[in-house]
């Protein structure tokens, strides 16, 4: 079974309580369950992680590059300013799908810029937790 990392940046463990009018009522545990179930359907071994620490996220990206592991990434707030994350992702050796639960382009102007998009295989945004399902499906078809 092909391994895939689903990496999540800051505040995503707060799903279900953080701005449910934007991010919905589903929890992080719901997201983990959905990703794992989708992975099983697609023949993917999905590991879901979340961190509020930029350095930890960069370390995970480095390991994924070293191991040629495909990544689904919701960089959250790091999307808009983390050049350290951008530089780490530029070293990728397997497909990378950037995901967002909401549609950043339909929100505040500061959210309209992604420093990650230029080094991603593609971006899926605005479909709630289904954004992750669509990303996993895309990865399964790319591999």
In the residue annotation, 132 being an active-site residue is answered as no
Q: What is the pLDDT of residue 16?
A: 84
DSSP letter string over 11-51?
Answer: TGGGTTTS-HHHH-S--HHHHHHHHHHHHHHHTEEEEEEE-
In the residue annotation, 100 being an active-site residue is answered as yes
pLDDT greater than 80 at residue 93: yes
Identify the active-site residue in 81, 83, 86, 100: 100
Which run of H or E residues covers position 109? none
The size of the chain, in residues, is 143
Instruction: Say what the pTM is.
Output: 0.92
Q: Going by CATH, does the domain composed of 2-142 fall within 3.40.50.9100?
A: yes
34-53 tens-digit pLDDT:
999 999 999 999 999 999 99
**Segments making up each domain of the chain, as ranges:** 2-142
Question: Can you say which residues are annotated as belonging to the binding site?
Answer: 74, 80, 87, 101-102, 111
Structure tokens at 114: 């992604």
pLDDT greater than 80 at residue 1: no
What are the DSSP E strand ranges found in 33-104?
44-50, 71-74, 96-100
121-134 tens-digit pLDDT:
999 999 999 999 99
């Amino acid at each position: 079974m092909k391994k895939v990392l689903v990496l999540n940046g800051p505040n995503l463990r707060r799903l279900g309580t953080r701005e449910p009018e934007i991010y919905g009522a589903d929890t992080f545990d719901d997201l983990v369950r959905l990703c794992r179930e989708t992975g099983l359907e697609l023949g993917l071994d999905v590991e879901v992680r979340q961190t509020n620490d930029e350095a930890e996220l960069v370390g995970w990206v480095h390991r994924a590059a070293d191991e040629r592991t495909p990544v689904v990434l919701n960089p959250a707030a790091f999307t808009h300013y983390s050049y350290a994350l951008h530089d780490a992702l530029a070293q990728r050796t397997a497909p990378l799908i950037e995901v967002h639960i909401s549609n950043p382009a339909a929100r505040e102007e500061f959210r309209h810029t992604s420093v990650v998009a230029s080094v991603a295989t593609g971006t899926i945004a605005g479909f709630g937790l289904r954004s992750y399902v669509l990303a996993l499906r895309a990865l399964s078809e790319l591999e």
